[in-house]
């Protein structure tokens, strides 16, 4: 809230994440997994929707939002993911297809942000670290999946595994430049 | 299978 400069933050990516969480957590209405699980779902939902609200409605934040460079169109990602979820899923129910759609969409939701970073020559420390930790966080899921595969019976989930792997791959190029800039102690820039 | 078999991930 103190840092009102949101240059370099993609509203499109934030909106896609809000959509990801809204479609994934429909089970909150029908199933209970654990208190931790429910609390984390509420945190993901409230944080993603409040970021979108801030970027659209907050006067100071909106002013610094780099709208002209953030031109990626939602439908190019949302529609293919929806079609893929309708074709490839484990059960043909509304909740399950929405859940699968959210898995596919999450894998590619970072793309508008990566495109915006590439267009913005001067990458903010905040934005660079945000993207790095978002990718690092998701890549840890892969370790978790390997662990669960060996410790839990019947733990085989191709849809989440392949999507999570694709998601991490999309970050690979960014990771390379981020770690290089960190190692050489220079400001992060991406090649045009 | 039950819903939370693999939907327990966030």
- pLDDT higher than 60, residue B1: no
Q: Do A160 and B3 touch (CB under 8 A)?
A: no
Higher pLDDT, A22 or A181: A22
pLDDT for residue A170: 94
- pLDDT higher than 80, residue A123: no
Cβ partners under 8 Å of residue A6, min gap 6: A55, A61, A64, A65, A66
Give the whole-angstrom CA distance, residue A32 versus residue A77: 30
Apex A90 CA angle, A86 and A93, nearest 5: 60
Interval A147-192: pLDDT, tens: 999 998 888 899 999 999 999 999 998 999 899 988 998 888 888 7
DSSP conformation class of A69: T
How many residues would you count in chain A?
A: 192
Higher pLDDT, A123 or A92: A92
- pLDDT higher than 80, residue A33: yes
B-chain CB neighbours of A30 within 8 Å are 3
* Mean pLDDT, residues A120-135 taken together: 84
Interval A48-96: pLDDT, tens: 999 999 889 887 778 888 888 899 999 999 999 999 999 999 999 999 9
Give the whole-angstrom CA distance, residue A138 versus residue A147: 15
Pair of tokens at residue A74 = 């939602």
Q: Do B10 and A160 touch (CB under 8 A)?
A: no
Is A161 an interface residue toward B (CB < 8 Å)? no
pLDDT for residue A187: 85
Which letter, b or e, does each residue of A47-71 get, where b requires 16 or more Cβ atoms within 10 Å of its Cβ? ebbebbebbeeeeebeeebeeebbe
3-state class percentages of chain A: helix first, strand second, coil last, to nearest 5: 70, 0, 30
**Interface confidence (ipTM) of the complex:** 0.80
Higher pLDDT, A66 or A24: A24
A161 close to A145: Cβ distance less than 8 angstroms: yes
Distances (CA, A) of A113 to A49, A66, A125, A169, A181: 17, 11, 14, 15, 19
- pLDDT higher than 60, residue A11: yes
pLDDT for residue A3: 62
* Mean pLDDT, residues A97-109 taken together: 97
pLDDT for residue B7: 82
Q: Find the residue in B nearest to A23 (Cα).
A: B10
* Mean pLDDT, residues A116-145 taken together: 87
- pLDDT higher than 60, residue A108: yes
């Amino acid at each position: 809230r103190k840092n009102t400069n949101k240059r370099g933050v993609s509203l499109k990516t934030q909106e896609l994440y809000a959509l990801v969480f809204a479609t994934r957590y429909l089970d909150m209405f029908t199933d209970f997994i654990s208190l931790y699980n429910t609390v984390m779902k509420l945190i993901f939902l409230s944080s993603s929707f409040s970021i979108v609200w801030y970027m659209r409605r907050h006067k100071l934040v909106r002013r610094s939002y780099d709208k002209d460079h953030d031109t990626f169109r939602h439908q190019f990602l949302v529609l293919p993911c929806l079609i893929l979820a309708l074709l490839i899923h484990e059960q043909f129910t509304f909740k399950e297809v929405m859940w699968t759609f959210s898995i596919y969409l999450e894998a590619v939701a970072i793309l508008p942000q990566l495109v915006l970073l590439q267009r913005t020559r001067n990458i903010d420390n905040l934005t660079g670290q945000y993207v790095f930790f978002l990718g690092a966080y998701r890549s840890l899921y892969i370790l978790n999946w390997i662990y669960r595969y060996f410790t839990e019976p019947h733990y085989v989930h191709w849809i989440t595994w392949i999507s999570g792997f694709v998601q991490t791959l999309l970050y690979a190029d960014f990771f390379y430049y981020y770690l290089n800039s960190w190692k050489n102690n220079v400001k992060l820039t991406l090649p045009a | 299978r039950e819903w939370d078999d693999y939907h327990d991930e966030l």
